[in-house]
A and B are shown apart, each in its own frame.
Chain A
């Protein structure tokens, strides 16, 4: 699971008021460098990302230093900045671990990079 996806997922357990963000507990993290850098895509994604949650996610997997504190002004022209964002949202993969609901502490497992977001019958 990539951090771009994590940024957009929330806990949907019945009765939970705020299930976002899901906490990451990772036992296996894979860092790639072969994902093609597409600056146009990164520029489109920046307004859709919750920056604080992205920073939290990086902190949870021990990579807090990869991203600056704030989004840079005029990021469309700052290739170095865009590459940093690209690396964090597209090249870091949680292979094994869990996503934990902040309210109910319900754990959603991640196996082979795929999160299982199915609720049980009594949670719907």
Chain B
């Protein structure tokens, strides 16, 4: 029986729990599509050495035609820790041994060569496997099953192997896993980038700078590739653009806030009063050698945007609109009833336009209409939608006739609130008469999300 095309993707996250499975599986599929790679779920019925992973599990098993494809996927994935070429699986060690022997084909012979050093580890899913137990379990794989002749090397082996024990759904008192896999590590995901791109080391941050793990995820869901043109209409300090640029995209940003666009004003860092002279989105990119990917930033209002509409502009719009918690959503307009007589000010007077509250309902409608107008066909809009968890229903998600909803992933913020990563794909050419719609009236009230977010438990 063939195992050569089955790979186990092991997930990891800095934040505990919270739909990791949902996010991580989506990331693999979206990235595979972007790169033109086939990666499909195995049919468990014809495959006794695969267990269908439970929701909240931290791995999945996919059919991928070639290890080269797996390497290509791994070069993009931020939520996958490692990918393992499955050599066998079973509900207990006897079955596992038999499965490995059955699937041992000529392609694996080179790994048993005496010149190839190796090491083996045991990984528990849903339960930690103690070091003492690891040694014992490794011994349960017979020498006939795995006739390694090379030396063991724990620090820098030529090949690394994993026994993956799946304890999901197993009661605490039960000591045996529900399923066990064995396989060879093909490579690692990009989790080391989380340290490289950590916000603590970033030159310029704002109050709502996007965590690198989520930024990279958003870029993967948006189908970013090298030569994509990506725009963030609520760019802030550019944290989302940094991840898009890392994947080769050329980036543009807009924001209504002068201080954030020019990198001036009060710092968001603890114990630092004002921003330094060299804080800017461009310098954030320069910090990682990505300055060639910078196109421009503009001082602009997402409610009254300055982009021409007669031909498609962007491959992706990736953004985190303000929900009114730490940053108020604003647009240009007069707060009260009176309006300054601007004509009388004269041309030389520098006038900063007054800003009024930008109702969330309008924020999302404008965003969808903007995306429908300016994306290329097949281009993606990726943004966070804040929701109240108890009230949420599918009607909360804004719709537009030219955009198709292709992703909706919940990230919990607190007991009552979460934000959902929405992914939409442009399907049809822009027609000015088409409008965005939100069926729920959750967003039509002033400060709607903010009020419920801060409600006591």
Contact = CB atoms under 8 A, between A and B. Distances in A.
Contacts of B306: 9-12, 108, 117
B292 interface: yes
Contact of B296 (A1, A20, A34): A1
Given A9-B308, A20-B308, A41-B250, A119 B301 contact: yes
A22 B307 CA distance: 11
Given A1-B296, A112-B262, A115-B299, A121 B333 contact: yes
Interface string B286-313: 0000001001111111011111110111
Contacts of B332: 118-121, 124
A20 B339 CA distance: 28
A94 B252 CA distance: 16
A114 B250 contact: no
B334 interface: yes
Interface string A36-64: 10101101110010100000000000000
Interface in B112-144: none
Q: Range of interface residues on chain A?
A: 35 or more
Most buried by A among B300, B305, B333, B334: B300
A86 B307 CA distance: 21
B229 interface: yes
A18 B315 CA distance: 25
Contacts of B262: 112, 114
Contacts of B353: 118-121
A50 B339 CA distance: 38
Given A9-B307, A38-B227, A44-B227, A121 B299 contact: no
Contacts of A116: 298-299
Contacts of B227: 38, 40-41, 43-44
Given A118-B332, A122-B339, A2 B298 contact: no
Contacts of A10: 306-309
A5 B296 contact: yes
Given A35-B292, A40-B227, A44-B227, A122 B342 contact: yes
Interface string B258-296: 000110000000000000000000000000000010011
A119 B454 CA distance: 33
B256 interface: yes
A118 B295 contact: no
A22 to B, nearest CB: 9
A31 interface: no
B105 interface: no
B41 interface: no
Interface in B136-177: none
Interface string A55-93: 000000000000000000000000000000000001000
A5 B334 contact: no
Contacts of B340: 121
A100 interface: no
A112 B439 CA distance: 43
A1 B299 CA distance: 11
Nearest to A99: B306
A50 B309 CA distance: 12
A4 interface: yes
B226 A8 contact: no
B289 to A, nearest CB: 10
Given A34-B292, A113-B296, 18 more contacts: A4-B296, A9-B306, A10-B308, A10-B309, A11-B306, A38-B226, A90-B295, A114-B261, A115-B298, A117-B299, A119-B304, A119-B353, A120-B342, A120-B351, A121-B334, A121-B339, A121-B340, A124-B333
Interface of A: 1-2, 4-5, 8-12, 20, 34-36, 38, 40-41, 43-45, 48, 50, 90, 108, 112-122, 124
30 contacts: A1-B298, A5-B252, A5-B298, A10-B309, A11-B306, A12-B305, A36-B292, A38-B227, A38-B250, A38-B292, A41-B226, A41-B227, A41-B229, A41-B250, A44-B227, A48-B229, A48-B311, A50-B311, A108-B306, A114-B261, A114-B298, A114-B299, A115-B299, A117-B254, A118-B300, A119-B353, A120-B353, A124-B303, A124-B304, A124-B333
